[in-house]
Amino acid sequence: MANFILRNAEPKDVSDILRLIKELAKFEEMEEQVVLTEKELLEDGFGDHPFYHCVVAEVPREKQSEEGYTVVGFAMYYFTYDPWIGKLLYLEDFYVMKEFRGYGIGSEILKLLSERAVKTRCSSMHFIVAEWNKPSIEFYKRRGASDLSLEEGWRLFEINKQSLLKMSAK
């Protein structure tokens, strides 16, 4: 069984965080859409006002991945606000390297985030999942997640930078 620890990400982890973000994007065939840099991750996550938080899963050196990595999983989250019930924990990205699956790392990460959500008095945890991602949907449903898009008809919209520029110039 794999030994691993979960800990809060530190500034030195930004290369591994970016690597794992890209690995997850690759799985969704969107790797070229990752334009974030290590510098931005550093400023945005470890400055005066962090825009995100990260926990990482780390294995000891002797258990490192084929390519020599010891940081083998991560979850990126932040706090959002529901005008009916207040603070929520929003799970943005969540990934464990393929060769380290099946050891309960994902479950431990979710358990840690659940504890954190309860400790910070959040009413719920929210996240989005692509409708084709059946394994993830099952993983979350087994832990009590409900599909609000199905139940309540919510759809996610985006106004991109181009349109923001247009509106602000009007």
Partner 1 sequence: MAHYKLRKAEPEDVTDILRLIKELAKIVEKEDQVMLTEKDLLEDGFGEHPFYHCIVAEVPAEQQKVEGYSVIGFAMYYFTYDPWIGKLLYLEDFFVMKEYRCLGIGSEILKNLSVTALKSGCNSMHFIVAQSNEASINFYKRRGALDLSLAEGWRLFRIDKQCLLNLSAEE
Task: State how far Cα 27 lies from the chain centre.
Answer: 14
| Nearer to partner 1 among residue 35 and residue 62 (C-beta) | 35
Using CB under 8 A, which of 2, 6, 25, 42 touches partner 1?
A: 25
Taking the complex as a whole, the smallest distance from the CB of residue 15 to partner 1 amounts, in Å, to: 14
- Could you tell me which stretch among 4-12, 60-68, 78-86 binds partner 1 (CB under 8 A)? 78-86
Taking the complex as a whole, the smallest distance from the CB of residue 61 to partner 1 amounts, in Å, to: 27
Q: What is the dihedral of CA 35, 37, 40, 46, to 10 degrees?
A: 130
Taking the complex as a whole, the smallest distance from the CB of residue 112 to partner 1 amounts, in Å, to: 8
Distance CA 30, CA 153 (A): 26
Using CB under 8 A, which of 10, 11, 26, 30 touches partner 1?
A: 30
Distance CA 123, CA 17 (A): 27
Q: Which two tokens stand for residue 115?
A: 């504890």
Sign of the CA dihedral with 144 first, then 148, 151, and 152 last: positive
96-155 residues near partner 1, rule: CB under 8 A: 110-111, 114-115, 117-118, 122-132, 137, 140, 143-150, 152-155
* 39 binding partner 1? (CB under 8 A): no
- Could you tell me which stretch among 5-13, 57-65, 86-94 binds partner 1 (CB under 8 A)? 86-94
Annotated catalytic residues are 140
Taking the complex as a whole, the smallest distance from the CB of residue 81 to partner 1 amounts, in Å, to: 4
Using CB under 8 A, which of 23, 44, 46, 65 touches partner 1?
A: 44
Binding track over 1-20 against partner 1, x by CB under 8 A: --------------------
Distance CA 74, CA 105 (A): 10
Distance CA 10, CA 14 (A): 8
Q: Any bridge partners for residue 86, and if so which?
A: 82
Distance CA 139, CA 127 (A): 13
